[in-house]
Structure 1
Amino acid sequence: MSMEFYKQTGFWKKSTQYKPGEPLTNEKLIKVEEHLGRQLPASYVTLMKAQNGGELKHRYVLFEDGEAAIIPYFYEVDLDHGIGLTPVFIEECGLPEGLVLLTGDLHSWLALDYRKSKDPSVVYISEDESESGLWEEYPLALTFSEFTARLFRKEG
């Protein structure tokens, strides 16, 4: 088995079960950014304007220890769905403030992390295995562009 890393083309899986949201307009983007109190990274916005959420073609990312996580899809950029629900999930799940949730399933999340800078890093957060209600954090990349360059798909 080999790994094919994302190389700035073919980000979205064509045949998908997770349906993308309505096309992302500048007006919608401004409203979502105001709602979240954060400016989204330009490289993320570019991908979301091409297709507003959906399944990723390169759906795996490596952690520092060599383990991999599956990032099956991104939420759409929308006020009433997708990343617009970040404040609700942060409160409901007891997640740290200063995140924008790109995808997740209540047990693990991929997020833009604005806690240290207005230019977010990318972090993977999962439930602590001790079931203590705490979250374990795994830094993935200093920028969203660096994160996408680390995405890969399995071949063979």
Structure 2
Amino acid sequence: MGAIEGEFWSADTHGVQAPLTDEAVREAERVLGVVLPAVLIELLRVQNGGGVVSGRSAYPTNTPASWAPDHVPFEGLMGIGSTGDALTILHTPYLVREWGLPERVVLLTGDGHWWIALDYRVCGPAGEPSVVWLDAEMDEDLTLAPSFQSFVEALAPAAAFGESG
């Protein structure tokens, strides 16, 4: 793969959407009102959502988060589409309203109580979004990485951290 080295997707097919097309990307960007990062589109062209390999199942944090003092989980990445009953990036507008999350974010993964999202609040809809941890119950908003690429490059095995969640 170009920008991301090594394996990313696991054999877990839950949440996998139909293969990503240029039309689907354009429609998603229209619905979400943002330009999605090229690295995200690159990953979703390989596999449109699903589980990630165990070697990339957590993001190390320097600041304690509600999940754990040293990391947050990243076991899957939502795709773009409407196949099956899995949540996708296209559900972001509804989920932001439902969970009282900040506007101008695009949700990448989460369980309702917490989310990892692209944050367009500072960069604007065409800028390079940072990646944030949002905990809806704890009202926590923690910047994880300055870009999606730097986020993916820093992912680590959850097993490298102690008990959590």
In 2: Cα distance, 1:112 partner to 1:59 partner:
17
Q: Across the two proteins, how many residue pairs are aligned to each other? A: 143
Residue 113 (str. 1) matches residue 111 (str. 2): no
Match among 126, 133, 144 for residue 148 of structure 2:
144
Question: CA shift at 1:79, angstroms?
Answer: 5.9
Aligned partner of 1:39: which letter? V
Aligned partner of 1:29: which letter? V
**Structure 1, gaps ≥5 residues long:** 1-6, 130-134
Aligned partner of 1:96: which letter? P
- State whether residues 63 and 138 of structure 1, in contact with CA within 8 Å, keep that contact through their aligned partners in structure 2: no
Residue 20 (str. 1) matches residue 26 (str. 2): no
**Structure 2, gaps ≥5 residues long:** 64-68, 161-165
SS state at 2:156 partner: strand
What residue number does 1:39 align with?
35
Residue 10 (str. 1) matches residue 7 (str. 2): yes
What residue number does 1:70 align with?
73
Question: CA shift at 1:78, angstroms?
Answer: 2.1
**Between structures 1 and 2, the one with greater strand share:** 1
Cα displacement string for residues 24-69 of structure 1 (whole angstroms, at most 9, x for unaligned residues): 0001110011110001000110000000001111111111136111
Aligned partner of 2:148: which letter? F
In 2: Cα distance, 1:144 partner to 1:29 partner:
17
What residue number does 1:3 align with?
none
TM-score by length of 1: 0.85
Report % sequence identity.
34
In 2: Cα distance, 1:19 partner to 1:109 partner:
16
